[in-house]
């Protein structure tokens, strides 16, 4: 018999948890994660779009380093401007491809020189020498282009002169211009896709 102020508890307490809905959702999530290839294809697409944006905007947070004046002059001699950076022939940007499997999403390039642009570094240039055929005027003077540099002579130009040159061995410093890079917006889109796929099934 309980005394005044005491609470008598039953000998046995039963708690029933209805987790049918939770189990159903967990089962659905397990089924969706059993085949992740469609999700990986979508993620690889986001990554490929991010790389395209990096090339288009010449780097995003931070911007890529500008070209050196010597590189700009070299481009000008070939009739090209200083922009876009990393796209003279377009081979590097076109070489970027995506691959998706059941377990991974990959974006990359098979160009050997891609690493020096991605991470930066030094390139050893060997000493070299040779000759140039330059255009001349009627009095034998060198003709100059709009930028002040000498004008290369084609084989058909009769007024031309040969000039020899030699360049000693040296190193060239290439700044990093990471084109294989994801920004915060890119990561946010990927995260939303992962959550949507696993939790919501879309």
| Residue 9, pLDDT score | 66
CA dist 91 and 117 (Å) reads: 13
Angle at which helices 37-57 and 184-195 cross, to 10°: 170
| Residue 202, pLDDT score | 65
Q: How many CB atoms lie within 10 A of CB 27?
A: 10
Residue 160: name the closest of 133, 191, 131, 124 by CA: 133
CA dist 132 and 4 (Å) reads: 114
C-alpha torsion sign, points 90, 43, 64, 68? negative
Residue 39: name the closest of 100, 84, 92, 88 by CA: 100
E strand segments, 14-169:
97-100, 105-108, 121-125, 128-135, 160-167
CA dist 130 and 153 (Å) reads: 15
Q: How many CB atoms lie within 10 A of CB 159?
A: 14
CB 150 within 8 A of CB 144: yes
| Residue 95, pLDDT score | 97
Sequential pLDDT tens for the chain (202 residues):
556 666 666 677 777 777 666 676 667 767 777 788 999 999 999 999 999 999 999 999 899 999 999 888 888 888 889 999 998 889 999 999 999 999 999 999 999 999 999 999 998 888 889 888 888 888 888 888 887 888 888 887 888 888 888 888 888 899 999 999 999 999 999 999 998 888 776 6
| Percent helix / strand / coil, the chain, rounded to 5 | 35, 20, 45
| Residue 15, pLDDT score | 75
């Amino acid at each position: 018999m309980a005394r005044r102020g005491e609470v008598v508890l039953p000998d046995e307490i039963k708690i029933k948890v209805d987790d049918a809905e939770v189990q159903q959702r967990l089962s659905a999530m397990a089924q969706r994660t059993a085949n992740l290839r469609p999700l990986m294809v979508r993620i690889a697409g986001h990554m490929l779009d991010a790389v395209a944006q990096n090339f288009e905007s010449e780097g995003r947070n931070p911007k890529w380093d500008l070209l050196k004046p010597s590189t700009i002059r070299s481009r000008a001699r070939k009739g090209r401007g200083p922009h876009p950076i990393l796209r003279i022939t377009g081979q590097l940007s076109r070489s970027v491809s995506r691959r998706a499997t059941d377990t991974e999403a990959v974006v990359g390039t098979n160009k050997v020189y891609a690493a020096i642009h991605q991470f930066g570094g030094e390139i050893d240039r060997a000493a070299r020498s040779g000759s140039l055929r330059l255009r001349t005027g009627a009095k034998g003077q060198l003709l100059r282009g709009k930028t002040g540099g000498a004008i290369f002579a084609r084989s058909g130009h009769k007024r031309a002169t040969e000039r020899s040159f030699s360049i000693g061995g040296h190193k060239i410093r290439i700044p990093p211009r990471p084109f294989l890079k994801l920004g915060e917006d890119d990561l946010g889109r990927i995260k939303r896709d992962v959550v949507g796929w696993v939790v919501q099934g879309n």
